[in-house]
Amino acid sequence: MIIPALPADFDTVRSITQTTVSQIYPHYYPQGAVDFFLRHHSDESIASDIGSGCVFLCTDENGSPAGTVTVRKNEILRLFVLPEHQGKGLGRELLDFAEALVSEQYDEMIIDASLSAKPIYLKRGYREAEYHTIPTGNGDFLCYDVMKKRSTK
């Protein structure tokens, strides 16, 4: 089930985000980039998005929070599924939900694709629009693609 996140869900959204980044991203990125991601998904940005009503939580079959996604206009952001819940279709469910929400008002959706998620988005019809490299200190870099997909209204 996917529900809107409320201010009381801040700790849950923060935990899902930080746990996923901390456990999954080191397999794809150097530590400097992982630290950058953790700072980028700050308490302030999470709280602001929850306050704007654009953050959603996905629960598992037992009703426990397992994933989150943020949808801001036509951008799909902060899509994370806890590592122990990956491979169960929850990420697909969150992405289906986010794409449907975007398609209600926009002709195109945009997502920043981490190295770990890029193959998933390519399979779903997203195309690479931009490539970014950000120096994160200590000689480390964060590399990601901005990907776009036409809405299917």
Interatomic CA distance for residues 102 and 75, integer angstroms? 8
- Residue 69 scores a pLDDT above 90: yes
Tell me the per-residue pLDDT of 27-61, one tens digit each, with 9 for 90 and over.
888 888 888 888 888 999 999 999 999 999 999 98
Bridge partners, residue 70, by sequence: 55, 77
Percent of the chain with pLDDT over 70: 99
Q: What's the pLDDT band for 77 if we cut at 50, 70, 90?
A: very high
Interatomic CA distance for residues 133 and 142, integer angstroms: 6
- At 149 the three-state DSSP class reads strand
pLDDT of the residue at 114: 84
**Average pLDDT for 18-31:** 90
Cβ-based neighbour number of residue 92 at 10 Å: 12
d(CA 90, CA 87): 8
pTM: 0.91
DSSP secondary-structure letter at 38? H
The set of residues, in sequence order, having a beta carbon less than 8 Å from that of 64 and lying 6+ positions away, is: none
- Per-residue pLDDT band for 153 (boundaries 50, 70, 90) equals low
Rounded distance, CA 14 to CA 20, Å? 10
pLDDT higher than 90, residue 143: no
Question: What is the reported pLDDT for 116?
Answer: 81
Domains and CATH numbers, the chain: 2-107 (3.40.630.30)
